[in-house]
Structure 1
Protein backbone atom coordinates (compact mmCIF):
# COMPACT_ATOMS: atom_id res chain seq x y z
CA UNK A 1 0.00 0.00 0.00
CA UNK A 2 1.41 3.43 -0.94
CA UNK A 3 1.74 6.22 1.59
CA UNK A 4 -1.04 8.82 1.62
CA UNK A 5 0.17 12.39 1.40
CA UNK A 6 -2.19 14.85 3.03
CA UNK A 7 -2.70 18.28 1.45
CA UNK A 8 -0.65 21.13 2.87
CA UNK A 9 -2.18 22.46 6.08
CA UNK A 10 -3.86 19.17 6.93
CA UNK A 11 -3.07 15.81 8.43
CA UNK A 12 -4.39 12.46 7.33
CA UNK A 13 -6.95 12.87 10.10
CA UNK A 14 -8.07 16.34 9.04
CA UNK A 15 -7.04 20.01 9.03
CA UNK A 16 -4.26 21.33 11.24
CA UNK A 17 -5.06 23.26 14.41
CA UNK A 18 -4.69 27.03 14.14
CA UNK A 19 -1.49 28.63 15.39
CA UNK A 20 -1.45 31.90 17.31
CA UNK A 21 -2.25 34.97 15.18
CA UNK A 22 -0.07 37.17 17.41
CA UNK A 23 3.38 36.15 16.17
CA UNK A 24 4.80 34.12 13.26
CA UNK A 25 5.62 30.53 14.21
CA UNK A 26 7.37 28.48 11.55
CA UNK A 27 10.06 26.50 13.32
CA UNK A 28 10.21 25.18 16.89
CA UNK A 29 12.47 23.00 19.01
CA UNK A 30 11.26 21.31 22.17
CA UNK A 31 13.76 20.15 24.79
CA UNK A 32 12.51 17.31 26.99
CA UNK A 33 14.17 15.83 30.06
CA UNK A 34 12.20 12.67 30.87
CA UNK A 35 13.95 12.31 34.24
CA UNK A 36 12.85 15.70 35.51
CA UNK A 37 10.03 16.27 37.97
CA UNK A 38 6.78 14.83 36.65
CA UNK A 39 7.83 14.69 32.97
CA UNK A 40 8.13 10.91 32.56
CA UNK A 41 9.39 8.65 29.76
CA UNK A 42 6.35 9.12 27.50
CA UNK A 43 6.56 12.91 27.37
CA UNK A 44 8.69 13.14 24.22
CA UNK A 45 6.25 11.01 22.22
CA UNK A 46 3.28 12.93 23.62
CA UNK A 47 4.94 16.22 22.68
CA UNK A 48 5.58 15.03 19.12
CA UNK A 49 1.91 14.05 18.80
CA UNK A 50 0.73 17.47 19.98
CA UNK A 51 3.14 19.39 17.75
CA UNK A 52 2.07 17.31 14.75
CA UNK A 53 -1.41 18.81 15.11
CA UNK A 54 -0.05 22.21 13.98
CA UNK A 55 1.34 23.50 10.70
CA UNK A 56 4.79 23.91 12.23
CA UNK A 57 8.27 22.56 11.55
CA UNK A 58 9.07 21.11 14.96
CA UNK A 59 11.71 18.84 16.44
CA UNK A 60 11.65 17.20 19.88
CA UNK A 61 15.03 16.66 21.54
CA UNK A 62 15.36 14.29 24.49
CA UNK A 63 17.97 15.67 26.88
CA UNK A 64 20.47 13.06 27.93
CA UNK A 65 24.21 13.16 28.39
CA UNK A 66 25.59 16.56 27.41
CA UNK A 67 22.74 19.00 28.06
CA UNK A 68 24.83 22.03 27.10
CA UNK A 69 25.61 20.61 23.65
CA UNK A 70 21.94 19.80 23.03
CA UNK A 71 20.88 23.29 24.07
CA UNK A 72 23.55 24.89 21.87
CA UNK A 73 22.37 22.80 18.91
CA UNK A 74 18.79 23.94 19.52
CA UNK A 75 19.85 27.57 19.35
CA UNK A 76 21.94 26.92 16.24
CA UNK A 77 18.77 25.89 14.40
CA UNK A 78 17.48 29.46 14.88
CA UNK A 79 13.92 28.46 15.77
CA UNK A 80 11.18 30.98 16.45
CA UNK A 81 10.56 29.37 19.83
CA UNK A 82 12.25 26.86 22.11
CA UNK A 83 9.92 24.92 24.39
CA UNK A 84 11.53 23.55 27.54
CA UNK A 85 9.99 20.62 29.39
CA UNK A 86 12.59 20.01 32.07
CA UNK A 87 13.63 21.08 35.54
CA UNK A 88 13.60 24.67 36.74
CA UNK A 89 17.39 24.86 36.41
CA UNK A 90 17.40 23.76 32.77
CA UNK A 91 14.64 26.23 31.91
CA UNK A 92 16.66 28.97 33.62
CA UNK A 93 19.78 28.03 31.63
CA UNK A 94 17.92 28.16 28.31
CA UNK A 95 16.27 31.50 29.12
CA UNK A 96 19.62 32.95 30.26
CA UNK A 97 21.19 31.94 26.95
CA UNK A 98 18.36 33.45 24.91
CA UNK A 99 18.44 36.90 26.50
CA UNK A 100 16.12 39.61 25.05
CA UNK A 101 17.28 39.31 21.44
CA UNK A 102 17.19 35.52 21.14
CA UNK A 103 14.34 33.18 20.23
CA UNK A 104 11.21 33.13 22.34
CA UNK A 105 11.34 30.67 25.22
CA UNK A 106 8.39 28.71 26.57
CA UNK A 107 9.30 27.14 29.95
CA UNK A 108 6.65 24.45 30.43
CA UNK A 109 5.88 23.00 33.89
CA UNK A 110 8.22 20.04 34.16
CA UNK A 111 10.19 20.79 37.31
CA UNK A 112 9.51 20.56 41.03
CA UNK A 113 8.32 24.05 41.93
CA UNK A 114 7.28 25.34 38.48
CA UNK A 115 6.84 28.88 39.75
CA UNK A 116 7.66 30.60 36.46
CA UNK A 117 5.64 28.22 34.23
CA UNK A 118 2.62 28.60 36.51
CA UNK A 119 2.97 32.36 36.47
CA UNK A 120 3.15 32.38 32.66
CA UNK A 121 0.53 29.76 31.82
CA UNK A 122 -1.60 29.37 34.96
CA UNK A 123 -1.38 25.58 34.98
CA UNK A 124 0.84 22.71 36.10
CA UNK A 125 -0.29 20.66 33.06
CA UNK A 126 2.48 20.97 30.48
CA UNK A 127 0.27 19.73 27.63
CA UNK A 128 -2.28 22.46 28.31
CA UNK A 129 0.50 25.06 28.60
CA UNK A 130 1.99 23.89 25.28
CA UNK A 131 -1.31 24.18 23.44
CA UNK A 132 -2.03 27.59 24.97
CA UNK A 133 1.37 28.87 23.90
CA UNK A 134 0.89 27.55 20.35
CA UNK A 135 -2.66 28.87 19.94
CA UNK A 136 -2.71 32.08 22.03
CA UNK A 137 0.92 33.01 22.64
CA UNK A 138 2.69 36.21 21.79
CA UNK A 139 6.16 37.53 22.60
CA UNK A 140 6.35 39.08 26.07
CA UNK A 141 9.40 40.25 27.94
CA UNK A 142 10.01 38.57 31.28
CA UNK A 143 11.95 40.53 33.89
CA UNK A 144 14.32 39.06 36.42
CA UNK A 145 17.60 39.60 38.17
CA UNK A 146 21.30 38.92 37.58
CA UNK A 147 24.00 38.19 40.14
CA UNK A 148 27.50 36.93 39.47
CA UNK A 149 26.62 36.18 35.85
CA UNK A 150 23.67 34.01 36.91
CA UNK A 151 20.10 34.99 36.04
CA UNK A 152 16.92 34.30 37.98
CA UNK A 153 13.32 34.96 37.00
CA UNK A 154 11.39 34.05 40.16
CA UNK A 155 13.35 34.68 43.33
CA UNK A 156 16.77 34.68 44.93
CA UNK A 157 17.57 34.10 48.60
CA UNK A 158 20.83 35.49 49.94
CA UNK A 159 22.17 34.62 53.38
CA UNK A 160 22.44 31.73 55.83
CA UNK A 161 18.83 30.46 55.36
CA UNK A 162 19.82 29.50 51.80
CA UNK A 163 21.91 26.73 53.37
CA UNK A 164 18.70 24.85 54.15
CA UNK A 165 18.04 24.27 50.44
CA UNK A 166 20.56 21.39 50.02
CA UNK A 167 19.08 19.65 53.08
CA UNK A 168 15.60 19.94 51.62
CA UNK A 169 16.73 18.58 48.26
CA UNK A 170 18.57 15.67 49.90
CA UNK A 171 15.41 14.74 51.81
CA UNK A 172 13.36 14.94 48.61
CA UNK A 173 15.70 12.48 46.88
CA UNK A 174 15.93 10.12 49.88
CA UNK A 175 19.57 10.90 50.79
CA UNK A 176 19.00 11.14 54.51
CA UNK A 177 22.66 11.05 55.58
CA UNK A 178 23.45 13.99 53.31
CA UNK A 179 20.35 15.77 54.57
CA UNK A 180 21.57 15.51 58.17
CA UNK A 181 24.98 16.88 57.20
CA UNK A 182 23.49 19.83 55.35
CA UNK A 183 21.07 20.53 58.21
CA UNK A 184 23.92 20.59 60.75
CA UNK A 185 25.81 23.08 58.61
CA UNK A 186 22.72 25.26 58.27
CA UNK A 187 22.13 25.23 62.03
CA UNK A 188 25.77 26.12 62.66
CA UNK A 189 25.61 29.09 60.32
CA UNK A 190 22.17 30.33 61.34
CA UNK A 191 22.35 33.62 63.28
CA UNK A 192 26.17 33.46 63.33
CA UNK A 193 26.65 36.42 61.02
CA UNK A 194 24.28 38.95 59.50
CA UNK A 195 24.22 39.74 55.81
CA UNK A 196 24.97 43.39 55.06
CA UNK A 197 23.27 45.08 52.13
CA UNK A 198 22.13 48.34 50.59
CA UNK A 199 19.32 49.03 48.14
CA UNK A 200 19.89 51.43 45.23
CA UNK A 201 22.85 53.01 47.00
CA UNK A 202 20.90 53.70 50.19
CA UNK A 203 21.95 53.23 53.78
CA UNK A 204 23.74 50.06 54.81
CA UNK A 205 21.57 47.57 56.63
CA UNK A 206 21.84 44.10 58.17
CA UNK A 207 19.55 41.11 57.92
CA UNK A 208 19.62 37.36 58.41
CA UNK A 209 18.43 36.90 54.84
CA UNK A 210 17.52 38.97 51.81
CA UNK A 211 14.87 37.65 49.44
CA UNK A 212 14.64 39.22 45.97
CA UNK A 213 11.41 38.52 44.09
CA UNK A 214 10.77 39.25 40.42
CA UNK A 215 7.79 41.41 39.40
CA UNK A 216 6.27 38.40 37.59
CA UNK A 217 6.03 36.51 40.89
CA UNK A 218 5.63 39.27 43.47
CA UNK A 219 2.16 40.10 44.75
CA UNK A 220 3.44 43.46 45.98
CA UNK A 221 4.60 44.86 42.61
CA UNK A 222 2.04 45.76 39.98
CA UNK A 223 4.61 47.08 37.50
CA UNK A 224 8.15 45.88 36.65
CA UNK A 225 9.88 48.75 38.46
CA UNK A 226 12.49 46.55 40.13
CA UNK A 227 12.92 43.48 42.28
CA UNK A 228 10.95 43.28 45.50
CA UNK A 229 13.64 43.20 48.18
CA UNK A 230 12.44 41.57 51.40
CA UNK A 231 14.81 41.80 54.33
CA UNK A 232 14.14 39.06 56.87
CA UNK A 233 15.68 39.57 60.27
CA UNK A 234 14.41 37.13 62.90
CA UNK A 235 16.34 37.60 66.13
CA UNK A 236 16.38 33.96 67.13
CA UNK A 237 15.11 30.51 66.21
CA UNK A 238 11.69 31.15 67.74
CA UNK A 239 11.11 34.16 65.50
CA UNK A 240 12.39 32.19 62.52
CA UNK A 241 9.82 29.45 63.16
CA UNK A 242 7.12 32.08 63.54
CA UNK A 243 8.14 33.65 60.23
CA UNK A 244 7.97 30.24 58.55
CA UNK A 245 4.44 29.70 59.88
CA UNK A 246 3.44 33.19 58.78
CA UNK A 247 4.69 32.47 55.25
CA UNK A 248 2.59 29.32 55.11
CA UNK A 249 -0.71 30.63 56.39
CA UNK A 250 -0.86 34.41 55.94
CA UNK A 251 0.84 37.26 54.11
CA UNK A 252 4.43 36.97 55.35
CA UNK A 253 5.03 40.65 54.59
CA UNK A 254 2.95 41.51 57.65
CA UNK A 255 5.49 39.83 59.93
CA UNK A 256 7.32 42.48 62.04
CA UNK A 257 10.72 40.95 61.20
CA UNK A 258 10.19 41.54 57.46
CA UNK A 259 10.60 44.79 55.52
CA UNK A 260 10.17 45.12 51.76
CA UNK A 261 10.72 47.68 49.00
CA UNK A 262 11.47 47.63 45.27
CA UNK A 263 15.10 48.02 44.15
CA UNK A 264 17.00 47.95 40.88
CA UNK A 265 20.48 47.43 42.36
CA UNK A 266 21.24 45.48 45.49
CA UNK A 267 24.74 45.39 46.96
CA UNK A 268 25.43 42.66 49.51
CA UNK A 269 28.51 41.63 51.44
CA UNK A 270 29.50 39.32 54.28
CA UNK A 271 32.58 38.03 56.10
CA UNK A 272 32.77 34.97 53.87
CA UNK A 273 31.21 33.73 50.63
CA UNK A 274 27.46 34.33 50.57
CA UNK A 275 25.22 31.24 50.28
CA UNK A 276 22.37 31.83 47.85
CA UNK A 277 19.49 30.06 46.16
CA UNK A 278 18.40 31.38 42.76
CA UNK A 279 15.23 29.89 41.30
CA UNK A 280 15.72 26.80 43.45
CA UNK A 281 19.42 26.22 42.69
CA UNK A 282 22.06 26.59 45.41
CA UNK A 283 25.15 28.63 44.55
CA UNK A 284 27.92 30.40 46.45
CA UNK A 285 28.51 34.06 45.70
CA UNK A 286 31.65 36.00 46.50
CA UNK A 287 31.79 37.83 49.82
CA UNK A 288 30.75 40.96 47.91
CA UNK A 289 27.96 40.63 45.36
CA UNK A 290 25.76 42.94 43.32
CA UNK A 291 22.30 41.97 42.12
CA UNK A 292 20.89 43.94 39.19
CA UNK A 293 17.32 44.15 37.98
CA UNK A 294 16.87 43.02 34.36
CA UNK A 295 13.61 44.56 33.08
CA UNK A 296 13.82 42.60 29.80
CA UNK A 297 15.63 39.39 30.67
CA UNK A 298 14.18 37.22 27.88
CA UNK A 299 11.16 36.91 25.59
CA UNK A 300 8.57 34.31 26.48
CA UNK A 301 5.86 32.88 24.24
CA UNK A 302 2.89 33.21 26.52
CA UNK A 303 -0.79 34.24 26.44
CA UNK A 304 -1.43 37.85 27.33
CA UNK A 305 -1.80 38.81 30.06
CA UNK A 306 0.38 36.25 31.87
CA UNK A 307 -1.57 34.08 34.27
CA UNK A 308 0.50 35.03 37.35
CA UNK A 309 -1.08 32.18 39.26
CA UNK A 310 1.93 31.27 41.37
CA UNK A 311 2.84 34.45 43.22
CA UNK A 312 4.48 35.12 46.56
Structure 2
Protein backbone atom coordinates (compact mmCIF):
# COMPACT_ATOMS: atom_id res chain seq x y z
CA UNK A 1 0.00 0.00 0.00
CA UNK A 2 1.54 3.28 -1.15
CA UNK A 3 -1.02 5.48 0.61
CA UNK A 4 -3.62 4.85 3.30
CA UNK A 5 -6.26 7.18 4.70
CA UNK A 6 -7.92 6.30 8.02
CA UNK A 7 -11.07 7.95 9.39
CA UNK A 8 -11.35 7.64 13.18
CA UNK A 9 -14.64 8.92 14.53
CA UNK A 10 -14.03 9.33 18.27
CA UNK A 11 -17.71 10.28 18.69
CA UNK A 12 -18.76 6.84 17.51
CA UNK A 13 -19.89 3.95 19.68
CA UNK A 14 -16.59 2.25 20.46
CA UNK A 15 -13.73 4.51 19.31
CA UNK A 16 -11.72 5.80 22.26
CA UNK A 17 -9.94 9.14 22.40
CA UNK A 18 -6.64 7.30 22.10
CA UNK A 19 -7.66 5.29 19.03
CA UNK A 20 -6.24 7.74 16.45
CA UNK A 21 -2.74 7.54 17.98
CA UNK A 22 -3.01 3.74 18.22
CA UNK A 23 -4.02 3.63 14.56
CA UNK A 24 -1.07 5.84 13.54
CA UNK A 25 1.32 3.52 15.38
CA UNK A 26 -0.06 0.44 13.61
CA UNK A 27 0.03 2.09 10.18
CA UNK A 28 3.62 3.21 10.80
CA UNK A 29 4.64 -0.45 11.15
CA UNK A 30 3.77 -1.05 7.49
CA UNK A 31 5.36 2.03 5.91
CA UNK A 32 3.97 4.05 3.03
CA UNK A 33 2.18 7.38 3.14
CA UNK A 34 -0.51 7.45 5.80
CA UNK A 35 -2.93 9.98 7.17
CA UNK A 36 -5.38 9.70 10.08
CA UNK A 37 -8.34 12.06 10.05
CA UNK A 38 -10.39 12.75 13.19
CA UNK A 39 -13.58 14.67 12.27
CA UNK A 40 -13.85 18.04 13.98
CA UNK A 41 -17.17 19.55 15.03
CA UNK A 42 -18.99 16.49 13.76
CA UNK A 43 -17.94 17.08 10.12
CA UNK A 44 -17.67 13.38 9.34
CA UNK A 45 -18.85 13.70 5.73
CA UNK A 46 -16.29 16.45 5.02
CA UNK A 47 -13.49 14.35 6.50
CA UNK A 48 -14.62 11.35 4.46
CA UNK A 49 -14.81 13.26 1.19
CA UNK A 50 -11.41 14.89 1.74
CA UNK A 51 -9.84 11.48 2.36
CA UNK A 52 -11.33 10.07 -0.87
CA UNK A 53 -10.23 13.15 -2.84
CA UNK A 54 -6.62 12.35 -1.92
CA UNK A 55 -7.04 9.09 -3.94
CA UNK A 56 -5.47 6.64 -1.46
CA UNK A 57 -4.97 2.96 -2.22
CA UNK A 58 -6.95 2.10 0.90
CA UNK A 59 -9.55 3.95 2.96
CA UNK A 60 -9.86 2.55 6.49
CA UNK A 61 -13.09 3.34 8.34
CA UNK A 62 -12.97 3.24 12.14
CA UNK A 63 -16.52 4.39 12.76
CA UNK A 64 -20.10 3.15 12.60
CA UNK A 65 -21.98 1.21 9.93
CA UNK A 66 -23.46 4.40 8.55
CA UNK A 67 -20.00 5.80 7.78
CA UNK A 68 -18.92 2.52 6.16
CA UNK A 69 -22.03 2.58 3.99
CA UNK A 70 -21.36 6.22 3.02
CA UNK A 71 -17.76 5.33 2.12
CA UNK A 72 -18.97 2.45 -0.05
CA UNK A 73 -21.36 4.77 -1.91
CA UNK A 74 -18.65 7.39 -2.50
CA UNK A 75 -15.86 4.97 -3.47
CA UNK A 76 -17.91 2.61 -5.62
CA UNK A 77 -15.94 0.15 -7.69
CA UNK A 78 -13.52 2.71 -9.17
CA UNK A 79 -12.49 4.52 -5.99
CA UNK A 80 -10.22 3.34 -3.15
CA UNK A 81 -10.66 -0.02 -1.50
CA UNK A 82 -12.24 0.25 1.94
CA UNK A 83 -11.57 -1.57 5.20
CA UNK A 84 -14.59 -1.14 7.52
CA UNK A 85 -13.24 -1.72 11.04
CA UNK A 86 -15.51 -2.17 14.10
CA UNK A 87 -15.89 1.33 15.53
CA UNK A 88 -19.64 1.72 15.94
CA UNK A 89 -22.34 0.37 18.22
CA UNK A 90 -23.72 -2.53 16.20
CA UNK A 91 -20.78 -3.07 13.80
CA UNK A 92 -22.86 -5.16 11.44
CA UNK A 93 -20.55 -4.86 8.43
CA UNK A 94 -17.27 -5.28 10.35
CA UNK A 95 -18.61 -8.43 12.04
CA UNK A 96 -19.62 -9.81 8.65
CA UNK A 97 -16.17 -9.06 7.18
CA UNK A 98 -13.81 -9.61 10.14
CA UNK A 99 -15.84 -11.61 12.65
CA UNK A 100 -15.58 -10.56 16.29
CA UNK A 101 -11.91 -9.49 16.08
CA UNK A 102 -11.19 -6.11 17.69
CA UNK A 103 -10.29 -3.24 15.35
CA UNK A 104 -6.55 -3.22 16.08
CA UNK A 105 -6.13 -6.91 15.25
CA UNK A 106 -8.46 -6.58 12.25
CA UNK A 107 -6.31 -3.72 10.91
CA UNK A 108 -3.08 -5.66 11.34
CA UNK A 109 -4.56 -8.81 9.77
CA UNK A 110 -5.86 -6.78 6.85
CA UNK A 111 -2.56 -5.02 6.17
CA UNK A 112 -0.58 -8.27 6.50
CA UNK A 113 -2.85 -10.72 4.70
CA UNK A 114 -5.60 -8.66 3.09
CA UNK A 115 -7.07 -9.62 -0.27
CA UNK A 116 -9.03 -7.32 -2.53
CA UNK A 117 -12.54 -8.50 -3.30
CA UNK A 118 -15.74 -6.92 -4.57
CA UNK A 119 -18.61 -6.45 -2.17
CA UNK A 120 -22.24 -6.63 -3.21
CA UNK A 121 -25.15 -4.85 -1.59
CA UNK A 122 -28.83 -4.11 -1.70
CA UNK A 123 -30.64 -0.98 -2.77
CA UNK A 124 -33.95 0.07 -1.26
CA UNK A 125 -35.61 3.33 -2.23
CA UNK A 126 -32.26 4.34 -3.73
CA UNK A 127 -30.39 3.75 -0.45
CA UNK A 128 -27.58 1.24 -0.13
CA UNK A 129 -27.34 -1.46 2.52
CA UNK A 130 -24.35 -3.77 2.78
CA UNK A 131 -25.56 -6.21 5.44
CA UNK A 132 -29.30 -6.13 6.09
CA UNK A 133 -32.46 -4.09 5.75
CA UNK A 134 -35.50 -4.44 8.02
CA UNK A 135 -38.77 -2.96 6.80
CA UNK A 136 -42.03 -2.56 8.74
CA UNK A 137 -42.79 -3.28 12.38
CA UNK A 138 -39.56 -5.24 12.79
CA UNK A 139 -37.65 -1.98 12.52
CA UNK A 140 -39.43 -0.70 15.62
CA UNK A 141 -38.54 -3.89 17.49
CA UNK A 142 -34.77 -3.51 17.00
CA UNK A 143 -34.17 -2.10 20.54
CA UNK A 144 -36.03 -5.07 22.07
CA UNK A 145 -33.89 -7.49 20.07
CA UNK A 146 -30.72 -5.87 21.38
CA UNK A 147 -31.98 -6.26 24.96
CA UNK A 148 -32.52 -9.97 24.27
CA UNK A 149 -28.94 -10.17 22.97
CA UNK A 150 -27.69 -8.48 26.15
CA UNK A 151 -29.55 -10.97 28.36
CA UNK A 152 -32.14 -8.51 29.71
CA UNK A 153 -35.47 -10.25 29.02
CA UNK A 154 -37.66 -7.94 31.16
CA UNK A 155 -36.33 -4.83 29.43
CA UNK A 156 -36.78 -6.61 26.10
CA UNK A 157 -40.43 -7.33 26.90
CA UNK A 158 -41.17 -3.71 27.86
CA UNK A 159 -39.40 -2.40 24.75
CA UNK A 160 -41.30 -4.83 22.55
CA UNK A 161 -44.64 -3.91 24.11
CA UNK A 162 -43.91 -0.20 23.68
CA UNK A 163 -42.88 -0.76 20.06
CA UNK A 164 -45.96 -2.86 19.37
CA UNK A 165 -48.24 -0.10 20.69
CA UNK A 166 -46.69 2.43 18.32
CA UNK A 167 -46.23 -0.14 15.59
CA UNK A 168 -46.47 0.70 11.99
CA UNK A 169 -50.19 0.73 11.14
CA UNK A 170 -51.17 -1.78 8.51
CA UNK A 171 -49.27 -4.75 7.20
CA UNK A 172 -46.74 -4.81 4.41
CA UNK A 173 -47.55 -6.20 1.00
CA UNK A 174 -44.72 -7.70 -0.99
CA UNK A 175 -43.80 -9.54 -4.14
CA UNK A 176 -40.46 -11.31 -4.63
CA UNK A 177 -39.02 -11.56 -8.14
CA UNK A 178 -42.41 -10.74 -9.60
CA UNK A 179 -44.05 -13.70 -7.86
CA UNK A 180 -47.32 -13.93 -5.92
CA UNK A 181 -48.21 -11.18 -3.49
CA UNK A 182 -47.85 -11.80 0.23
CA UNK A 183 -48.55 -10.02 3.52
CA UNK A 184 -46.30 -9.62 6.56
CA UNK A 185 -45.74 -7.44 9.60
CA UNK A 186 -42.11 -7.00 8.59
CA UNK A 187 -39.63 -7.93 5.87
CA UNK A 188 -35.90 -8.47 6.17
CA UNK A 189 -33.39 -8.56 3.32
CA UNK A 190 -29.94 -9.93 4.10
CA UNK A 191 -26.86 -9.75 1.89
CA UNK A 192 -24.84 -12.94 1.26
CA UNK A 193 -21.88 -11.73 3.35
CA UNK A 194 -24.07 -11.86 6.48
CA UNK A 195 -26.40 -14.74 5.64
CA UNK A 196 -25.93 -18.16 7.18
CA UNK A 197 -27.80 -19.77 4.30
CA UNK A 198 -26.00 -18.07 1.40
CA UNK A 199 -22.39 -18.25 0.29
CA UNK A 200 -20.54 -14.94 -0.12
CA UNK A 201 -20.42 -15.51 -3.88
CA UNK A 202 -24.18 -16.06 -4.26
CA UNK A 203 -25.98 -13.38 -6.24
CA UNK A 204 -29.16 -13.21 -4.19
CA UNK A 205 -30.62 -11.47 -1.20
CA UNK A 206 -32.03 -13.64 1.55
CA UNK A 207 -35.56 -12.32 2.05
CA UNK A 208 -37.71 -13.22 5.02
CA UNK A 209 -41.33 -12.38 5.75
CA UNK A 210 -41.94 -12.04 9.49
CA UNK A 211 -45.52 -12.36 10.63
CA UNK A 212 -45.71 -12.53 14.45
CA UNK A 213 -49.20 -12.41 15.93
CA UNK A 214 -48.23 -10.31 18.93
CA UNK A 215 -45.51 -9.27 21.37
CA UNK A 216 -44.82 -12.84 22.54
CA UNK A 217 -44.18 -14.16 19.03
CA UNK A 218 -42.09 -11.10 18.16
CA UNK A 219 -39.88 -11.76 21.18
CA UNK A 220 -39.68 -15.44 20.25
CA UNK A 221 -38.29 -14.47 16.83
CA UNK A 222 -35.82 -12.13 18.51
CA UNK A 223 -34.71 -14.90 20.85
CA UNK A 224 -34.26 -17.33 17.94
CA UNK A 225 -32.16 -14.74 16.11
CA UNK A 226 -29.80 -14.55 19.09
CA UNK A 227 -29.47 -18.14 20.32
CA UNK A 228 -30.49 -20.13 17.27
CA UNK A 229 -31.76 -19.63 13.76
CA UNK A 230 -34.82 -17.43 13.27
CA UNK A 231 -35.55 -19.22 9.98
CA UNK A 232 -36.78 -22.17 12.04
CA UNK A 233 -39.48 -20.05 13.67
CA UNK A 234 -42.96 -20.89 12.33
CA UNK A 235 -43.78 -17.18 11.97
CA UNK A 236 -40.88 -16.66 9.52
CA UNK A 237 -40.87 -17.57 5.83
CA UNK A 238 -37.47 -17.21 4.13
CA UNK A 239 -36.64 -17.32 0.43
CA UNK A 240 -33.91 -16.06 -1.92
CA UNK A 241 -34.57 -13.26 -4.39
CA UNK A 242 -32.84 -10.75 -6.62
CA UNK A 243 -35.48 -8.05 -6.43
CA UNK A 244 -38.64 -7.29 -4.53
CA UNK A 245 -41.44 -4.79 -4.34
CA UNK A 246 -42.74 -3.78 -0.91
CA UNK A 247 -45.64 -1.43 -0.33
CA UNK A 248 -48.02 -0.22 2.36
CA UNK A 249 -50.66 2.41 3.00
CA UNK A 250 -48.15 4.81 4.57
CA UNK A 251 -44.43 5.50 4.80
CA UNK A 252 -42.48 2.42 5.90
CA UNK A 253 -40.16 2.48 8.95
CA UNK A 254 -36.87 0.76 8.26
CA UNK A 255 -33.45 -0.06 9.65
CA UNK A 256 -30.62 -0.12 7.07
CA UNK A 257 -27.40 -1.66 8.40
CA UNK A 258 -28.45 -0.67 11.92
CA UNK A 259 -29.41 2.91 11.01
CA UNK A 260 -33.09 3.99 11.26
CA UNK A 261 -34.75 5.33 8.12
CA UNK A 262 -38.19 6.23 6.84
CA UNK A 263 -39.06 4.98 3.37
CA UNK A 264 -41.79 5.81 0.91
CA UNK A 265 -45.00 3.78 0.90
CA UNK A 266 -43.93 1.88 -2.23
CA UNK A 267 -40.29 0.78 -2.64
CA UNK A 268 -38.19 -1.48 -4.81
CA UNK A 269 -35.49 -3.65 -3.25
CA UNK A 270 -32.77 -4.89 -5.60
CA UNK A 271 -29.53 -6.83 -5.31
CA UNK A 272 -26.37 -5.43 -6.91
CA UNK A 273 -23.45 -7.82 -7.08
CA UNK A 274 -20.67 -5.19 -7.06
CA UNK A 275 -21.01 -1.90 -5.16
CA UNK A 276 -17.49 -1.37 -3.77
CA UNK A 277 -14.13 -3.06 -3.18
CA UNK A 278 -12.97 -4.15 0.26
CA UNK A 279 -9.62 -5.29 1.61
CA UNK A 280 -9.93 -8.11 4.12
CA UNK A 281 -8.13 -11.28 5.23
CA UNK A 282 -8.99 -14.49 3.34
CA UNK A 283 -12.55 -15.64 3.90
CA UNK A 284 -13.05 -18.39 6.47
CA UNK A 285 -15.26 -21.29 5.45
CA UNK A 286 -18.79 -21.08 6.83
CA UNK A 287 -19.70 -23.86 9.28
CA UNK A 288 -21.86 -26.69 8.01
CA UNK A 289 -25.50 -26.15 8.97
CA UNK A 290 -28.71 -28.08 8.32
CA UNK A 291 -30.28 -27.29 4.99
CA UNK A 292 -32.68 -24.34 5.16
CA UNK A 293 -35.59 -23.31 2.98
CA UNK A 294 -33.35 -20.69 1.38
CA UNK A 295 -30.79 -23.31 0.33
CA UNK A 296 -33.57 -25.51 -1.02
CA UNK A 297 -34.85 -22.58 -3.06
CA UNK A 298 -31.39 -21.92 -4.45
CA UNK A 299 -31.12 -25.56 -5.52
CA UNK A 300 -34.47 -25.43 -7.28
CA UNK A 301 -33.55 -22.20 -9.11
CA UNK A 302 -30.12 -23.56 -10.08
TM-score greater than 0.5 by the shorter chain: yes
Aligned to 1:43: 19
Distance of 1:113 and 1:241 partners within structure 2? 19
Q: How do residues 274-293 of structure 1 correspond to structure 2 at under 5 angstroms?
A: 274-293=252-271
Distance of 1:276 and 1:155 partners within structure 2? 10
Q: How do residues 34-183 of structure 1 correspond to structure 2 at under 5 angstroms?
A: 34-65=10-41, 66-165=43-142
1:233 paired residue among 211, 218, 226: 211
Whether the 8 Å CA contact 2:83–2:280 is kept in 1: the answer is: yes
Shift of 1:166: 6.8
Distance of 1:109 and 1:147 partners within structure 2? 24
Shift of 1:152: 0.9
Using the size of structure 2 for normalisation, the TM-score is: 0.85
- Give a deviation string over 1:260-286, Cα, whole Å, max 9, x none: 111111110000000000000000000
Aligned to 1:13: none
Please tell me whether Structure 1 or Structure 2 has the larger radius of gyration of its CA atoms.
1
**Residue aligned with 1:216, SS:** helix
Whether the 8 Å CA contact 2:172–2:248 is kept in 1: the answer is: yes
Whether the 8 Å CA contact 1:165–1:282 is kept in 2: the answer is: no
Distance of 1:153 and 1:190 partners within structure 2? 26
Distance of 1:166 and 1:240 partners within structure 2? 12
Distance of 1:125 and 1:144 partners within structure 2? 24
Shift of 1:90: 1.2
Q: 1:166 to 1:257 in 2, by over 3 A?
A: closer
Aligned to 1:205: 182
Distance of 1:166 and 1:115 partners within structure 2? 15
Distance of 2:40 and 2:160 partners within structure 1? 31
Whether the 8 Å CA contact 2:164–2:215 is kept in 1: the answer is: no
**Residue aligned with 1:305, SS:** coil
Aligned to 1:250: 228
Whether the 8 Å CA contact 1:225–1:262 is kept in 2: the answer is: no
Distance of 2:23 and 2:35 partners within structure 1? 10
Aligned to 1:27: 3
Distance of 1:119 and 1:303 partners within structure 2? 12
CA RMSD after TM alignment? 2.5
Distance of 1:56 and 1:108 partners within structure 2? 20
Q: 1:279 to 1:308 in 2, by over 3 A?
A: farther
- Give a deviation string over 1:68-109, Cα, whole Å, max 9, x none: 111111111000110000112111111121112211000011
Unaligned runs of 5+ in 2: 147-158, 288-302
User: If each structure's helix is expressed as a fraction of its own residues, which one has the higher value?
Assistant: 2
Aligned to 1:194: 171
1:305 paired residue among 259, 283, 299: 283
- Give a deviation string over 1:1-37, Cα, whole Å, max 9, x none: xxxxxxxxxxxxxxxxxxxxxxxx2111000011212
Shift of 1:114: 1.7
Shift of 1:183: 7.1
Number of aligned residue pairs: 277
Q: 1:220 to 1:167 in 2, by over 3 A?
A: closer
Shift of 1:111: 1.1
**Residue aligned with 1:85, SS:** strand
Shift of 1:63: 1.7
Whether the 8 Å CA contact 2:145–2:219 is kept in 1: the answer is: no
Unaligned runs of 5+ in 1: 1-24, 170-181
